[in-house]
């Protein structure tokens, strides 16, 4: 399971020793499941992140609550960390990375409105270039803040 190997890797990182940490066992598990990530070729980091989040959520969601209670030591980082909700419909992945995107469409002919909500683990946003200019042509030193306000 990817979840188990990721946990082992994170625990090694948290120990804070001065030795080298190799995530080879984590990569081996991932390579068996997704061959396109095999080897050491450059991959799209965003694609890999999406795969990891989806896989972790799927693995954690597959446990029923009784299995989780029995295997808590295997799948938690420490005894104070809950990675599954009691209803098993959300996981720590959805709690941290999950969101709902609401799409609204209005027909220009009949005026009918449609709303749809789609879950997501990541949301790509364009970030304006440094020294971006605002609509009146003057340089805007708060380009990042202005760009983020456009989305929220």
Which is nearest to 60 in space by CA: 33, 91, 34? Answer: 91
Read off the pLDDT of residues 14-35 as tens digits, 9 standing for 90 and up.
887 778 888 888 988 988 988 8
Q: 150 pLDDT exceeds 80?
A: no
Confidence of residue 88 (pLDDT cuts 50, 70, 90): very low
The domain locations on the chain are 2-97, 123-152
Read off the pLDDT of residues 136-148 as tens digits, 9 standing for 90 and up.
666 656 655 665 6
Helix (H) or strand (E) holding 83: none
Assigned token pair, 88: 């098993």
CA gap 148, 145 in Å, rounded:
5
Read off the pLDDT of residues 97-135 as tens digits, 9 standing for 90 and up.
888 889 999 999 999 999 999 888 887 777 766 655 556
Assigned token pair, 121: 């683990």
| DSSP secondary structure of 6-72 | HHHHHHHHHH--SS----HHHHHHHHHH-GGG-SS----HHHHHHHHHHHHHHHHHTS-HHHHHHTH
Look at residue 79 in the predicted model and tell me its pLDDT. 43
Look at residue 133 in the predicted model and tell me its pLDDT. 56
Look at residue 34 in the predicted model and tell me its pLDDT. 87
Look at residue 5 in the predicted model and tell me its pLDDT. 92
Whether the model pTM is above 0.85: no
Angle, CA 131 vertex, CA 130 and CA 137 arms, to 5°: 140
Read off the pLDDT of residues 36-50 as tens digits, 9 standing for 90 and up.
888 777 767 888 888
Q: 81 pLDDT exceeds 50?
A: no
Look at residue 125 in the predicted model and tell me its pLDDT. 75
């Amino acid at each position: 399971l990817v979840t188990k190997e990721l946990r082992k890797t994170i625990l090694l990182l948290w120990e804070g020793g001065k030795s080298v940490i190799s995530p080879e066992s984590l990569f081996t598990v991932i390579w068996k499941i997704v061959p396109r990530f095999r080897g050491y070729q450059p991959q799209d980091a965003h694609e890999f992140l999406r795969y990891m989040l989806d896989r972790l959520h799927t693995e954690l969601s597959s446990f029923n609550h009784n299995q989780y209670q029995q295997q808590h030591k295997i799948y938690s980082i420490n005894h104070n960390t809950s990675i599954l909700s009691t209803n098993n419909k959300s996981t720590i992945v959805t709690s941290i990375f999950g969101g709902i995107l609401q799409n609204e469409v209005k027909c220009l002919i009949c005026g009918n409105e449609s709303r749809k909500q789609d879950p997501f683990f990541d949301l790509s946003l364009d970030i304006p270039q440094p020294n971006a200019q605002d609509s009146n042509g003057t340089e805007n030193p708060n380009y990042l803040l202005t760009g983020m306000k456009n989305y929220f």
